[in-house]
C-alpha cells in the first residue's frame, strides 16, 4: 500500500541528500521559539457559521479535506478492529476546535484525548464535546474524553494523561509541520505521537508535501507562488535546511503563522526511533483517486458536499467561469459517456489541496 513520492526537483531542490545521520547532526542550531505565535494565532481565529462558510471560495476544498480525513479515520479504525476487537482509544494531537469530534463519534471509539497548544481552541473543543454528549440519545454511548492544553513540541503529554492506557491511534491532522522548526521540537512531537501507542497502533496525519512546495517554488520566478485563493512565500530559495525551513501559507487572504518544510524521508527516519514503520504516504490526489472508486466513499462525498457539482449544459453553473476555473470540468463533461452533472473542485482549490499528503505509520510489535 506504500506509495512514496519521488518527484523531488531533479537537482534535489537544494536540500542536501547526505546520509540521514549526517543530516540530523548537521542541523542542531538554535532557532527562536514559535509556539507562542502559533497559540496566539489559533486562539484569535473566530468560529464561522455555515452560512458564511458556504459563501467562501474554499467551501468545497474544506469539505474535501474533511471527507479525506473521514475516509482515512474510517480505514484505520477498520484495521484496528480487524486486528483486535475491544475498546478503542485515540489521541488527537493538535485537535484545534474539535473539527474531528464527529468523525470519532461516527467511528464509535471509546476514549479520546484532545491536545492542542491553543487554550481557546481546546476550550471550544471541550464545549463542543459536552454539547454532543448532552444532545445525544440516551442509548448512544459517547466516548469519554480528556482535554489538554500543551505545546506538544515541548511538553511530554504522558505526564499529563489521566490514565496509563495506551492508544490505538494518534491522529495529527494539518499540525505536524509546525514542529519542524527544530530537531528537538520535531522529535518531541513525534515522541508524543508514538510513545504511548500500542504495538500495532497507528500514527496518522496530513501535512504539506515538502517535495511539492519546493518544486513549485523552484518553478516560480519569484520567492512565492499561488493563485487567487492561496499564496506560499519563502524567504529564499536554492537551499533548504532540514529543520527551520520557514514559509508563509496564506489562504483566502488570511496569513497563517509560519510553517516549516517537513522533509519526509527525514521524518520516516526519525520515526524509526519509536519503532514506527511507514505504511502509507500518498498525495491527496492519489488518495482521492483510489478511494473514490468505492461507492460508500462516493456517497459520503455527496453527503459532505466535498465536490462542487458542475454541468456545462447548465449556464451559470457553478459560475460563468470567465477565469477558466472550471476548464478541466468542462473538458471532462464533453467526453463520451460522462453522466452529468459531475463533481469537481475549482482549479484554484485543487492547486491548494494537491499540496498536501496523507501519511500512516504503524508501531512494530
Ligand atoms: C490547521 S489546525 C488543525 C486542527 C485540527 N487538527 C483539524 O484538522 O481541524 C492546526 C492546529 O495545530 C495546533 N498546533 C500547532 N502547533 C502545536 C503544538 N506545538 N502543540 C500542540 N498543538 C499545536 C494549532 O493550535 C492548531 O489548532
- Least confident range of 49-53, 149-153, 256-260: 49-53
* Contact predicate 279/293, CB 8 Å: no
- 65 and 117 within one domain: yes
User: Which residues fall within 8 angstroms of residue 102, CB to CB, at 6 or more apart?
Assistant: 132
DSSP-H helix ranges across 152-244: 183-194, 210-219
Residue 286 inside a domain? The answer is yes
Q: Whose CA is nearest to atom 8 of ligand 1?
A: 173
- 200 and 60 within one domain: yes
- 68 and 137 within one domain: yes
Span 336-365, mean pLDDT? 90
| Ligand 1 atom nearest 69 alpha carbon | 8
The β-bridge relationship of strands 259-260 and 254-255 is: unpaired
Span 307-324, mean pLDDT? 69
User: Which residues fall within 8 angstroms of residue 226, CB to CB, at 6 or more apart?
Assistant: 232, 250, 351
Residue 5: the pLDDT is 32
Phi, psi of 52 (to 5 degrees): -70, -40
Residue 11 inside a domain? The answer is no
Q: What gap in Å lies between CA 179 and CA 34, rounded to an integer?
A: 9
Span 90-108, mean pLDDT? 97
Radius of gyration of the chain (CA): 21
For 117-127, the pLDDT digits (tens) are 999 999 999 99
Q: Whose CA is nearest to atom 16 of ligand 1?
A: 178
- 339 and 276 within one domain: no
For 231-243, the pLDDT digits (tens) are 999 999 999 999 9
More confident residue, 296 or 47: 296
- 337 and 266 within one domain: no
- 339 and 273 within one domain: no
Residue 106: the pLDDT is 97
37 known member of a binding site: no
Pull the grid cell for residue 93.
Answer: 494531537
Residue 223 inside a domain? The answer is no
Residue 273 inside a domain? The answer is yes
Residue 274: the pLDDT is 98
Residue 272: HSE in the Cβ half-sphere, 13 Å Cα cutoff: 7
Residue 15 inside a domain? The answer is no
Assess whether pLDDT exceeds 90 at residue 264: yes
Q: What gap in Å lies between CA 329 and CA 334, rounded to an integer?
A: 9
- 283 and 142 within one domain: yes
Residue 63: the pLDDT is 95
| Ligand 1 atom nearest 172 alpha carbon | 6
Residue 9: the pLDDT is 43
- 169 and 40 within one domain: yes
Q: What gap in Å lies between CA 115 and CA 77, rounded to an integer?
A: 20
38 touches ligand 1 (CB under 6 Å): yes
Residue with cell 504516504: 281
Residue 97 inside a domain? The answer is yes
- CATH of residue 144: 3.40.50.150
99 touches ligand 1 (CB under 6 Å): yes
94 touches ligand 1 (CB under 6 Å): yes
Assess whether pLDDT exceeds 90 at residue 34: no
Q: What gap in Å lies between CA 241 and CA 26, rounded to an integer?
A: 10
User: Which residues fall within 8 angstroms of residue 184, CB to CB, at 6 or more apart?
Assistant: none
Span 28-51, mean pLDDT? 74
Pull the grid cell for residue 54.
Answer: 458556504
Q: Pick from 96, 126, 190 the residue to mutate for probing ligand 1's pocket: most ligand atoms within 8 Å of its CB.
A: 96
Range of the domain at 126: 34-44+55-208+261-294+357-363
Quick one: pLDDT band at residue 11, thresholds 50, 70, 90?
very low
DSSP class of 181: T
Quick one: pLDDT band at residue 320, thresholds 50, 70, 90?
low
173 touches ligand 1 (CB under 6 Å): yes
**DSSP three-state, residue 90:** strand
Q: What gap in Å lies between CA 69 and CA 208, rounded to an integer?
A: 14
Assess whether pLDDT exceeds 60 at residue 22: no
Nearest to 65 by CA among 304, 319, 277: 304
Residue 137 inside a domain? The answer is yes
Q: Whose CA is nearest to atom 17 of ligand 1?
A: 117
Quick one: pLDDT band at residue 212, thresholds 50, 70, 90?
very high
More confident residue, 25 or 299: 299
- 191 and 337 within one domain: no
Burial (CB count within 10 angstroms: exposed 0-12, middle 13-18, buried 19+), residue 17: exposed
Residue 318: the pLDDT is 61
Number of domains, the chain: 2
Span 247-275, mean pLDDT? 93
Assess whether pLDDT exceeds 50 at residue 98: yes
| Ligand 1 atom nearest 35 alpha carbon | 19
More confident residue, 13 or 154: 154
151 known member of a binding site: yes
* pLDDT more than 70, % of the chain: 88
Torsion of CA 55, 255, 207, 127, to 10 degrees: -60
**What's the mean pLDDT when you consider all of the chain?**
88
- 289 and 148 within one domain: yes
Residue 233 inside a domain? The answer is no
Q: What gap in Å lies between CA 17 and CA 300, rounded to an integer?
A: 41
Assess whether pLDDT exceeds 80 at residue 41: yes
Assess whether pLDDT exceeds 70 at residue 31: no
Amino acid at each position: 500500500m506504500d506509495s512514496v513520492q519521488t518527484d523531488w526537483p531533479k537537482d534535489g531542490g537544494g536540500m542536501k541528500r547526505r546520509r540521514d545521520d549526517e543530516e540530523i547532526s548537521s542541523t542542531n542550531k538554535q532557532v527562536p521559539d514559535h509556539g507562542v505565535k502559533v497559540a496566539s494565532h489559533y486562539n484569535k481565529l473566530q468560529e464561522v457559521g455555515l452560512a458564511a462558510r458556504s459563501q467562501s471560495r474554499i467551501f468545497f476544498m474544506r469539505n474535501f479535506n474533511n471527507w479525506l480525513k473521514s475516509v482515512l479515520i474510517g480505514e484505520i479504525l477498520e484495521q484496528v478492529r480487524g486486528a483486535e476487537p475491544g475498546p478503542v482509544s485515540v489521541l488527537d494531537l493538535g485537535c484545534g476546535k474539535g473539527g474531528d469530534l464527529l468523525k470519532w463519534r461516527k467511528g464509535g471509539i471509546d476514549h479520546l484525548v484532545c491536545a492542542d497548544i491553543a487554550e481557546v481552541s481546546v476550550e471550544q473543543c471541550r464545549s463542543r464535546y459536552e454539547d454532543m454528549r448532552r444532545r445525544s440519545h440516551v442509548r448512544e454511548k459517547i466516548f469519554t474524553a480528556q482535554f489538554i492544553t500543551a505545546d506538544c513540541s515541548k511538553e511530554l503529554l504522558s505526564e499529563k494523561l489521566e490514565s496509563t492506557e495506551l492508544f490505538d491511534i494518534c491522529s495529527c491532522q494539518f499540525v505536524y509541520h509546525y514542529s519542524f522548526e527544530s530537531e528537538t521540537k520535531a522529535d518531541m512531537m513525534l515522541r508524543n505521537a508514538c510513545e504511548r501507542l500500542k504495538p500495532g497502533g497507528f500514527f496518522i496525519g496530513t501535512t504539506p508535501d515538502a517535495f511539492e512546495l519546493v518544486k513549485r517554488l523552484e518553478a516560480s520566478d519569484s520567492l512565492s507562488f499561488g493563485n487567487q485563493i492561496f499564496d506560499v512565500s519563502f524567504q529564499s530559495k536554492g537551499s533548504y535546511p532540514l529543520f527551520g525551513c520557514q514559509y508563509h501559507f496564506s489562504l483566502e487572504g488570511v496569513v497563517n503563522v509560519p510553517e516549516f518544510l517537513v522533509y519526509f524521508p527525514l521524518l520516516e527516519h526519525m520515526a524509526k526511533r519509536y519503532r514506527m514503520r511507514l505504511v502509507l504516504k500518498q498525495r491527496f490526489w492519489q488518495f482521492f483517486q483510489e478511494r473514490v472508486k468505492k461507492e460508500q466513499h462516493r456517497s459520503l462525498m455527496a453527503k459532505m458536499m466535498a465536490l462542487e457539482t458542475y454541468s456545462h449544459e447548465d449556464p451559470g453553473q457553478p459560475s460563468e467561469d470567465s477565469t477558466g476555473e472550471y476548464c478541466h470540468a468542462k473538458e471532462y463533461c464533453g467526453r463520451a459517456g460522462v453522466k452529468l452533472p459531475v463533481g469537481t473542485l475549482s482549479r484554484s482549490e485543487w492547486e491548494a489541496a494537491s499540496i498536501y499528503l496523507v501519511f500512516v505509520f504503524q508501531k512494530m510489535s
